[in-house]
């Protein structure tokens, strides 16, 4: 056995050429399934198959979906759509049905040109059923197409039985997919039946006239849904209380000569206001449920507020001294919203939240005129809704006064650099901890002064990981943060007077570069170490400003546009989308933001401050226990841990995306 060279410490993990591993095919999904789907149960990988069937109906093909939950845990989804193409791919030379299930980023939904197979579908990730296949022990696919029955089988993501075709299918068309989820990738191998039924019911709601059938072989129960009455029928059945006014229905879609949106983009929605009971709120984009909401819901909220506020102003209904806010109009509203977008951009692969900024203008612009007309056509309904919204605003104001009186006796002198907000509603108020005075100036001018405060920080905050609690305030920046927040440093189990907290959200806003990331880490260290209950209660967030701006000139009827991209991947996707639209590569220009200070107040508001269009990342402890998180933070931030950090960097350095 040879000894290491003199002066060199032996290491177990050298970083060399052989350290780089290339993941092929579906291997990245199996390595880190949580990046592609939810891993609490197999429901989402089954939903991907159901969504594909629904996309057929959205494109005008098929009338029924049948889903069967088998006794062995497998799930079968069958539709009568066009059937997945089975011929050879012109470039790859293998059957298309095989490519769809074995290749990431392959599918018919990338073709958005006129006449594409799926002009409207649930997103452009292209990893749906391939992820389902990757995380399944086995998958069997049967396609009826062009007078024949075609079968292919998969196991562990690879082809198990090659494509075989038998004539005799006649005029039958459609696809049947049976999936056996692999239990090792999920917390539980069982598909939650109640959630699956709710998903199937929503498909029937959003596709009036379509029959959805569910058979549970484990219990012998069979369910069928068909809503010829569409959204209105569904919402009225779901309400916990009687409506205060009759339902409002809106349906609006862009025409071929629309200057801002593609033909067919738009929304269907039903709105109901109730005086009691929990509201029912559901939204969808191209039939995909968005339980976390997004910009289409923000557009509906803006349309509701703008229309009702115009009615109140026109009839002089607002009492003196009452300030009406969007949440006052929204508080007692129930709705079902189904938006249709040509190229929806979702947050994460599970598609729980819509991020497309155009969706806000799309829904607001199409729904508001119809709601204004309805209110003026039925002034008795408008007055009733005005009374409810004004009562909500008055109750909110009284609650804010009670909090202010409780806090008034011991208010500390606020930092001089703090630009505070006007509202005393802690749940709504936000404070942005901004890197530098330049970015702080843009944030002050771009913010909504009603509920957003700004505290500029000078340079990098002190590393507080090993600073004792009673010495924290020796640092001016940490002192200003604590005083602005209104609560003292504490431990995970200390009793806290939460009534003194001044902001419901604490947002870290730093440049999208290496220095900005360092400032984020230092602030997160401060909160995790000395304000841990702020983190566990969900008060701390990280703002995600864009790194790129793409300026696209006017073309034909489409006006000039300014598009923002979070990172290189999003930039590439945006450029591909522009190329698909026929925009010449030489026509657009790309600018890279060096810092927040380069943004105008309007740009900063649109991309980072506006609650309806920004990207805000909540900070949580994640899957690790608090002790494990603390150990990792000690290794990263401790003064005496240089050797551990070096070893960690040598082991994990290949995972870093360097920004130089």
In tens, the pLDDT along 314-349 reads: 999 999 989 899 999 999 999 999 998 877 877 755
Q: What is the DSSP string of 91-159?
A: TT-SBHHHHHHHSTT-SGGG--STT-TTSS-S-S---HHHHHHHTEEEEEEEEEETTEEEEEEEETTEE
Which pLDDT band holds residue 407 (cuts at 50, 70, 90)? very low
DSSP conformation class of 416? T
Is the pLDDT at 659 greater than 80? The verdict is no
Which tokens go with 97? 């049905």
Is the pLDDT at 557 greater than 90? The verdict is no
So what's the pLDDT on residue 140?
A: 95
Q: What percent of the chain has pLDDT over 90?
A: 35
Name the residue with higher pLDDT: 27 or 527. Answer: 527
Is the pLDDT at 595 greater than 50? The verdict is yes
- HSE toward the beta carbon, residue 569, CA cutoff 13 A: 4
Dihedrals phi, psi of 348, to nearest 5 degrees: 85, 160
So what's the pLDDT on residue 245?
A: 94
Helix, strand or coil for residue 323? coil
Name the residue with higher pLDDT: 513 or 450. Answer: 450
Dihedrals phi, psi of 140, to nearest 5 degrees: -115, 135
Let me know if 24 is exposed, middle or buried by CB neighbors in 10 A (0-12, 13-18, 19+): exposed
**Can you tell me the distance from the alpha carbon of 457 to that of 279, in angstroms, rounded to the nearest whole number?**
41
- Alpha carbon 38 to its chain centroid, in Å, reads 13
- Strand 333-340 relative to strand 281-285, pairing: parallel
Q: Which of 151-165, 339-353, 435-449 has the highest mean pLDDT?
A: 151-165
So what's the pLDDT on residue 14?
A: 52
Q: Which of 9-23, 204-218, 376-390, 475-489 has the highest mean pLDDT?
A: 376-390
Q: What is the DSSP string of 20-42?
A: -----TTHHHHH-GGGTS--SST
Pair 180, 138: CB distance under 8 Å: yes
Which H/E stretch holds residue 212? strand 211-216
Which tokens go with 164? 């075989």
Which pLDDT band holds residue 124 (cuts at 50, 70, 90)? very low
Which tokens go with 79? 């539709």
Q: Which of 55-64, 99-108, 126-135, 482-491 has the highest mean pLDDT?
A: 482-491
Residue whose entry in the numeric block shows the structure tokens 């000139």: 553
Is the pLDDT at 281 greater than 80? The verdict is yes
Which tokens go with 143? 């396609």
Dihedrals phi, psi of 110, to nearest 5 degrees: -80, -20
So what's the pLDDT on residue 351?
A: 67
DSSP conformation class of 526? H
Which pLDDT band holds residue 406 (cuts at 50, 70, 90)? very low
**Can you tell me the distance from the alpha carbon of 371 to that of 496, in angstroms, rounded to the nearest whole number?**
45
Which tokens go with 199? 């998903």
So what's the pLDDT on residue 269?
A: 94
Per the confidence metrics, is the pTM higher than 0.75?
Answer: no
**What are the structural domains of the chain?**
27-225 (3.30.565.10), 231-401 (3.30.230.10)
DSSP conformation class of 461? P
So what's the pLDDT on residue 437?
A: 74
- Alpha carbon 366 to its chain centroid, in Å, reads 23
Pair 617, 542: CB distance under 8 Å: yes
- Report in angstroms the alpha-carbon separations of 168 from 145, 150, 165, 172, 615: 10, 11, 10, 9, 53
- What residue spans of 496-541 are helical by DSSP H? 514-530, 532-536
- As annotated, the active-site residues are 435, 511, 513, 515
The residues pairing with 175 across neighbouring beta strands, listed in sequence order, are 79, 143
Non-local CB neighbours of 400 within 8 Å, separated by 6+ positions: 423, 424, 425
Q: What percent of the chain has pLDDT over 70?
A: 88
């Amino acid at each position: 056995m040879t000894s290491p060279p003199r002066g060199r410490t032996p290491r177990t993990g050298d970083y060399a050429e052989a350290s780089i591993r290339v993941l092929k095919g579906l291997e990245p999904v199996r390595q880190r399934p949580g990046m592609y789907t939810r891993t609490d149960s197999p429901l989402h990988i089954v939903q991907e198959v159901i969504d594909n069937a629904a996309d057929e109906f959205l494109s005008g093909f098929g009338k029924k979906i049948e889903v069967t939950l088998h006794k062995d845990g497998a799930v079968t989804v069958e539709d009568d759509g066009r059937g997945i193409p089975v011929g050879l791919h012109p470039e790859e030379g293998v059957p298309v049905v095989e490519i769809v299930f074995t290749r990431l980023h392959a599918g018919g939904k990338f073709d958005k040109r006129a006449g594409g197979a799926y002009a409207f579908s649930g997103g452009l990730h292209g990893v749906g059923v391939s992820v389902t296949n990757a995380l399944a022990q086995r998958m069997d696919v049967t396609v009826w197409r062009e007078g024949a029955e075609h079968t292919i089988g998969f196991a562990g993501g690879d082809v198990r039985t090659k494509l075989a075709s038998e004539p005799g299918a006649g005029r039958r068309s459609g696809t049947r997919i049976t999936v056996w989820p692999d239990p090792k990738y999920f917390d539980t191998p069982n598909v939650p039946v109640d959630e699956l039924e709710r998903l199937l019911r929503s498909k029937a709601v959003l596709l009036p006239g379509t029959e959805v059938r569910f058979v549970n072989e484990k219990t012998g129960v069979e369910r069928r849904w068909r809503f010829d009455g569409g959204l209105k029928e569904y919402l009225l059945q779901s309400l916990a209380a009687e409506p205060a006014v009759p339902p409002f229905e809106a349906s609006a879609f862009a025409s071929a000569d629309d200057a801002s949106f593609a033909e067919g983009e738009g929304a269907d929605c039903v709105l109901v206001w109730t005086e009691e009971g929990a509201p029912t709120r559901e939204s969808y984009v191209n039939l995909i449920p968005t339980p976390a909401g997004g910009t289409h819901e923000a557009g509906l909220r803006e349309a509701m507020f703008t229309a009702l506020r115009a009615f109140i102003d026109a009839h002089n209904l607002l009492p003196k001294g009452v300030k009406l806010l969007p949440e006052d109009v929204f508080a007692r509203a129930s709705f079902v919203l189904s938006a249709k977008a040509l190229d929806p951009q979702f947050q994460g692969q599970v598609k729980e939240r819509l991020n497309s900024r155009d969706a806000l203008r799309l829904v607001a612009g199409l729904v508001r005129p119809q709601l204004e007309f309805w209110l003026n056509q039925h002034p008795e309904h408008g007055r009733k809704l005005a009374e409810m919204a004004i009562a909500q605003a008055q109750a909110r104001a009284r609650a804010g006064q009670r909090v202010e009186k409780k806090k008034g006796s011991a208010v500390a002198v606020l930092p001089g650099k703090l630009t505070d907000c006007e509202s005393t509603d802690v749940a709504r108020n936000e404070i942005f901890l901004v890197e530098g005075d330049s970015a702080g100036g843009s944030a002050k001018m771009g913010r909504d002064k009603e509920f957003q405060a700004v505290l500029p920080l000078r340079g990098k905050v002190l590393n507080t990981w090993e600073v004792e609690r009673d010495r924290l305030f020796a640092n001016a920046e940490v002192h200003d943060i604590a005083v602005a927040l209104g609560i003292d440093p504490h431990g995970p189990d200390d009793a806290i007077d939460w009534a003194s907290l001044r902001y419901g959200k604490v947002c870290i806003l730093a440049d999208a570069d290496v220095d900005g990331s360092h400032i984020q880490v230092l602030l997160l260290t401060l909160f995790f170490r000395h304000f841990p209950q702020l983190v566990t209660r969900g008060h701390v967030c990280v703002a995600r400003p864009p790194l790129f701006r793409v300026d696209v000139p006017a073309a034909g009827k489409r006006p000039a546009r300014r598009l923002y991209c979070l990172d290189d991947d999003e930039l590439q996707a945006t450029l591909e989308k522009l190329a698909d639209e026929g925009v010449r590569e030489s026509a657009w220009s790309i600018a890279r933001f060096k810092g927040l200070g380069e943004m105008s107040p309007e740009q900063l508001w649109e991309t980072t401050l506006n609650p309806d269009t920004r990207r805000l990342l909540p900070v949580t402890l994640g899957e690790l226990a608090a002790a494990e998180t603390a150990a990792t933070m000690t290794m990263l931030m401790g003064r005496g841990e240089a050797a551990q950090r070096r070893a960690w960097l040598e082991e994990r350095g290949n995972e870093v995306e360097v920004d130089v």
